[in-house]
Structure 1
Amino acid sequence: MCGRFALYSPYPRLSEALRLPLEEAGELTPRYNVAPGTWITVVRHPNDDAPLVMNEAWWGYRPHWAREKAPEPINATVEKVATSNYFRGAFAHHRCLVPADGWYEWLPVEGRKQPHFLCREDREPLWLAGIWSERPDGKPGCAILTEPARGVASEIHDRMPLVLDDKSLEPWLDPHLTDRETIRVVVHHLAAGRFTHWPVSTRVNKPTHDDEGLIESVDA
């Protein structure tokens, strides 16, 4: 799954890494402990003909047409996102990217859970595949896609966010590309060998803790 991540890269670095025309987003506040149920940075087309923007969406997906007590998932699995009644409309028309510098997972160790920070070996920003929809309040809400864990990520958890490679960013964001089989052909995840991880402080367990020390390695 993906239930906590960090984004501390400044806007210029993200814009350069994206390599796509993007409207200026201004300064981003570094966040080392991004939790569900908060506003997070996303890259999306607000509508089919709107320019690409980097703005905020609520991390919790509930489409405007859903009932009041409908679920508000933070993740959607790659196995079901294209076919589920709840997600397939957003998968076809409202895909987005969630920039991150890394994410956290918890490894069971002798009756406790040890958090690990996972990121690219080269420390470049990650682009997590997401979907979004207008919420009942008219504001965007999103979910991050997950897939079976690969490479070193599988040492920590059986799921991981769907991290896209550089060539997949433009087609993933293309609102005019709606056929799911075509999307599967042209969109690819980042190679499994590009990730690394290390144990970090259990301070990350509390979302109120948010500082650079959370991503520093500790003795497990």
Structure 2
Amino acid sequence: MCGRYAVSQSADDLADEFGVERDEVRERLDPDWNVAPTKKVYAVMTRGKKDEPDVAPVRRLRTFRWGLVPSWAKDIAIGNRLINARVETAAEKPAFRKAFALRRCILPADGFYEWRGEKGDKQPFYIHPKDGSLAMAGLYEIWRDKSKPEDADDAFVWSVVILTTDATDDVGQIHDRMPMLVEADHWERWLDPATTEPDDVTRLLTPAVPGILDAYPVSTDVNKVGNNGPHLVEPVEL
């Protein structure tokens, strides 16, 4: 699974990288080296405007709550455990299948963390590309909080889940799962809501090519969500 990751790039840098017009960025987050479930995260999506149905969808960078809350959910708390979705079954699972067909996104990341060892004595590792950054495949949903007026700022919760796959050899020695990636030449079709056939969608995703990732142990400071800063991704001696 992927339960923590790091994003140090600014919203403007991410907009430039993913071809998003800067005026489509509505909210800016601080760099975060300890992104955890329920936090706000950046994701890239292609979406039109409800009040302008004749205008072509455009690529946007916006913030989401990490932990998918399906539209049919009775409570937002369901998102606390829906942080990852297995790519092998996402097209069929009730919580993910509609989003898999229509609401796909990309979550940018510098790298992610995994833990190895016995319970109570697990060592965190930071896994990142040797060159560049990660474009993690994700799905998003919009949940209506019926306990609040429709015109309230937080009446609609935008949430995301990260798709995972079997880990490549680079990561498999640490954990058996890892985020699914979207290569740059597949971004347009992956984000396009018109791409709806499950087989076509799945073919746009790839595990990390063996050899492109680097993994090394980092401080156990990352275990505590309240800890943050670039020191969390610095290697330590075991």
Partner Cα separation in structure 1 for residue 183 and residue 98 of structure 2: 24
Partner Cα separation in structure 1 for residue 161 and residue 119 of structure 2: 32
Number of the residue aligned with 2:40: 39
Whether the 8 Å contact between 1:171 and 1:187 is mirrored in structure 2 is no
Whether the 8 Å contact between 2:169 and 2:210 is mirrored in structure 1 is yes
Partner Cα separation in structure 2 for residue 67 and residue 198 of structure 1: 41
Whether the 8 Å contact between 1:117 and 1:200 is mirrored in structure 2 is yes
Number of the residue aligned with 2:138: 130
Whether the 8 Å contact between 2:143 and 2:157 is mirrored in structure 1 is yes
> Could you tell me which of 62, 68, 75 is aligned with 1:68?
75
Number of the residue aligned with 1:92: 101
Number of the residue aligned with 1:160: 178
Partner Cα separation in structure 2 for residue 180 and residue 136 of structure 1: 26
Number of the residue aligned with 1:104: 113
Letter in 2 for 1:87: F
Greater CA drift, 163-172 or 193-202: 163-172
- The CA deviation string for residues 48-99 of structure 1, in whole angstroms up to 9 with x for no partner, is 8432111101111112222338732111111110111221100000001111
Number of the residue aligned with 1:175: 193
Partner Cα separation in structure 1 for residue 86 and residue 78 of structure 2: 15
Partner Cα separation in structure 2 for residue 208 and residue 195 of structure 1: 27
Identity %: 34
Partner Cα separation in structure 1 for residue 41 and residue 232 of structure 2: 18
CA shift for structure 1 position 110: 9.7
CA shift for structure 1 position 127: 0.6
CA shift for structure 1 position 17: 3.1
Partner Cα separation in structure 2 for residue 87 and residue 54 of structure 1: 21
What are the ranges of 5 or more consecutive residues in structure 1 without an aligned counterpart?
none
Whether the 8 Å contact between 1:6 and 1:31 is mirrored in structure 2 is yes
> Could you tell me which of 117, 130, 133 is aligned with 1:121?
130
CA shift for structure 1 position 179: 0.7
Number of the residue aligned with 1:219: 237
TM-score (norm 2): 0.84
Greater CA drift, 34-43 or 189-198: 189-198
CA shift for structure 1 position 9: 1.7
Whether the 8 Å contact between 1:9 and 1:125 is mirrored in structure 2 is no
What are the ranges of 5 or more consecutive residues in structure 2 without an aligned counterpart?
50-55, 146-155
Count of residues in Structure 1 that have an aligned counterpart in Structure 2:
218
Whether the 8 Å contact between 1:104 and 1:117 is mirrored in structure 2 is yes
Number of the residue aligned with 2:153: none
Number of the residue aligned with 2:2: 2
Greater CA drift, 24-33 or 34-43: 24-33
Letter in 1 for 2:171: A
Number of the residue aligned with 2:62: 55
Greater CA drift, 125-134 or 25-34: 25-34
TM-score (norm 1): 0.91
RMSD of Structure 2 on Structure 1 (CA):
2.1
Partner Cα separation in structure 1 for residue 100 and residue 93 of structure 2: 10
